[in-house]
């Protein structure tokens, strides 16, 4: 396994964890709990496979927030995604 392979694998772990946490964060704002919250987090994770970058995740959360009357600007959703990604990267670095 090359360094590039390890780096790509680590990035995949970071993005997956980030999306799970963002899905939980958004789901709680939608009032979801228990199994429904877990399912929603997985839906957010699945949304990220549409295009590179976090835009598809922002769009999914935006659509769900709009549907349920949750006021939260796109730039704030993106800021939360970036915050969570930094946190996940720091956690992974601390365990390596």
Give the pTM: 0.86
Answer whether 45's CB lies under 8 Å from 56's CB. Answer: no
Give the mean pLDDT of the chain: 90
**Which one, of 38, 44, 36, lies nearest residue 18 by Cα?**
44
Sketch the domain layout of the chain as residue ranges: 15-95
In this structure, the dihedral spanned by the alpha carbons of residues 51, 92, 2 and 81, taken in order and rounded to 10 degrees, is 10
The stretches in the chain having pLDDT less than 70 are 1-10, 96
pLDDT tens for each residue of 24-42: 999 999 999 999 999 999 9
What does residue 52 show for φ and ψ, rounded to 5 degrees?
A: -65, 150
pLDDT at 49: 83
């Amino acid at each position: 396994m090359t360094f590039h392979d390890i780096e790509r694998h680590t990035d995949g772990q970071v993005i997956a964890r980030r999306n799970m946490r963002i899905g939980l964060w958004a789901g709680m704002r939608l009032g979801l709990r228990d199994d429904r919250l877990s399912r929603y987090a997985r839906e957010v994770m699945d949304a990220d496979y549409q295009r590179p970058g976090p835009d598809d995740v922002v769009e999914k959360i935006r659509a769900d927030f709009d549907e349920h009357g949750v006021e939260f600007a796109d730039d704030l959703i993106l800021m939360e995604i970036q915050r969570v990604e930094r946190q996940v990267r720091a956690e992974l670095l601390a365990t390596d």
